[in-house]
Amino acid sequence: MNRFKYRLPNSSDIISGGSERVIKGFAKGFVIAPFVNPDDGLMTIPFDISNPDYGFEPEDSYIPSSTTRKDYEEEVRFIIHSLAEIRGKTVASRTIRIDAHIDIDGTFDNLCTAYPDAFVFLFSTSLTGTWIGASPELLLRKDRDFLSTMALAGTRPVALQEKEWDEKNLDEQAMVTDFIIDTLSRHCGTVTAGKKFTKKAGQIEHICTPISAYMPPSDLAEEYEDSYTNRLRQLLTELSPTPAVCGSDRIQSLELIKRYEKFPREMYGGFCGPNDIEGTTAFFVNLRSAKVSKEAAAIYAGCGITPLSHPEKEWLETELKSKTIINQLKTS
């Protein structure tokens, strides 16, 4: 059985469903896309069965080992050197492996309680393995012909309570904002960026710019549904991966990630969410997440690296981000 469960931000409703099948491509149901080649890797768990009456049992699949501090800081130094001549950013990620039996449903409940304004998700298929997370980042939400998203980047501990963001974080966030606006502008009639604000996500906070757009329907009414669905799919796969989880320039960042990271990101950094389930179409970036197997889990965390980065600070930032999941893991 391929299954999913989720709770939208600021909602108390938990939606769960499943199917014996997985559809390759973009369809009605719970959509999942990987970090690399999101268009080719798109898949959907149909909403064939509502609210299965038994608990999740994680897939028995590959779980990477932990990234050492030495390896991560060395990767960050290599990336800083590669970016020295350009205005760019690349996201360097790491994994933390925990060898234990994870109570996946109990962890999901903990995440819902701890992070009421996050998208809490859990999905499991034989193709992807089992993933759980509490994402603060909306990739794209559709409400009729209106779309909404956010540029979320820059990170600092909540405890710092600083009044102003530093140059490195402001530069990161500007790259993400510019990319999203440019991408939406190729598909939408009107794109509007709101006022940026500081958004709390657990023990850390980010700079967030809300962005909205209007994507007009097809001129031919009889072709509206298929045409709009294809355009929405195309927009999603152009947005993902955003500079917030990959980098800017994307091609260069993907090359650096492939060269220096010692594990596949798989679904981490991709996206997931409901497509026309109970009237909701919304997709969120797969981050603040973990891949879970029968007797182990790997927590994923990453940081945006620019020429202004410091390897030691980036390691400490991933420590904070990983606590989003680690602090809520329920073992048995």
Mind listing the pLDDT tens digit for each residue in 243-271?
999 998 899 999 999 999 999 999 999 99
- Which residues pair with residue 331 across a beta bridge? 102
pLDDT for residue 221: 44
Q: pLDDT tens digit string along 87-113?
A: 789 999 999 999 999 999 999 999 999
What does pLDDT average to over the chain?
92
Can you say whether the dihedral through the CA atoms of 238, 248, 310, 93 is positive or negative? Answer: positive
Q: What is the DSSP string of 190-250?
A: EEEE---EEEEETTEEEEEEEEEEE-PPPSSGGGHHHHHHHHHHHHHHHHSS-TTTSEESH
Question: Exposed e or buried b for every residue in 243-253, given b needs 16+ CB within 10 A?
Answer: bbbbbbbeebb
Q: Six-digit token pair at 269?
A: 């950094």
Q: Is the Cα dihedral 163, 166, 167, 171 positive or negative?
A: negative
Secondary structure letter of residue 8 according to DSSP? -
pLDDT at position 220 = 45
User: pLDDT tens for residues 306-317?
Assistant: 998 999 999 999
DSSP string, 12-57: --EEEEEES--EESS-SEEEEE-SSSHHHH-EEE---EES-SS---
pLDDT at 218: 59
Give the model's pLDDT for residue 189.
Answer: 82
Model confidence at 12: pLDDT above 90: yes
Give the H/E segment covering residue 95.
strand 89-98
* Residue 161 banded pLDDT, cuts 50, 70, 90: low
**pLDDT at residue 215 in the model:** 86
Kind of pairing between the strands at 271-277 and 29-33: antiparallel
Mean pLDDT computed over 167-194: 93
Write out pLDDT tens, residues 189-207.
Answer: 899 999 999 999 988 999 9
For the four alpha carbons of 320, 325, 330 and 332, in that order, the dihedral sign comes to negative
pLDDT the model gives residue 222: 46
Would you list the domain boundaries of the chain?
2-326
Over range 130-143, report the average pLDDT.
Answer: 97
Q: Is the dihedral of CA 103, 108, 113, 118 positive or negative?
A: positive
Question: What's residue 241's pLDDT?
Answer: 96
Count Cβ neighbours within 10 Å for each residue of 10-37 and write b for 16 or more, e otherwise: eeeeebbbbbeebbeebbebbbbbbbbe
Q: Which residue stretches of 37-195 are H helix?
A: 38-41, 69-82, 104-114, 167-185
pLDDT digits (tens, 9 = 90+) for 31-70: 999 999 999 999 999 999 988 777 788 888 999 999 999 9
Q: At residue 219, does pLDDT exceed 90?
A: no
CATH homologous superfamily of 2-326 equals Anthranilate synthase (3.60.120.10)
| Distances from the Cα of 190 to the Cα of 81, 145, 152, angstroms | 39, 11, 21
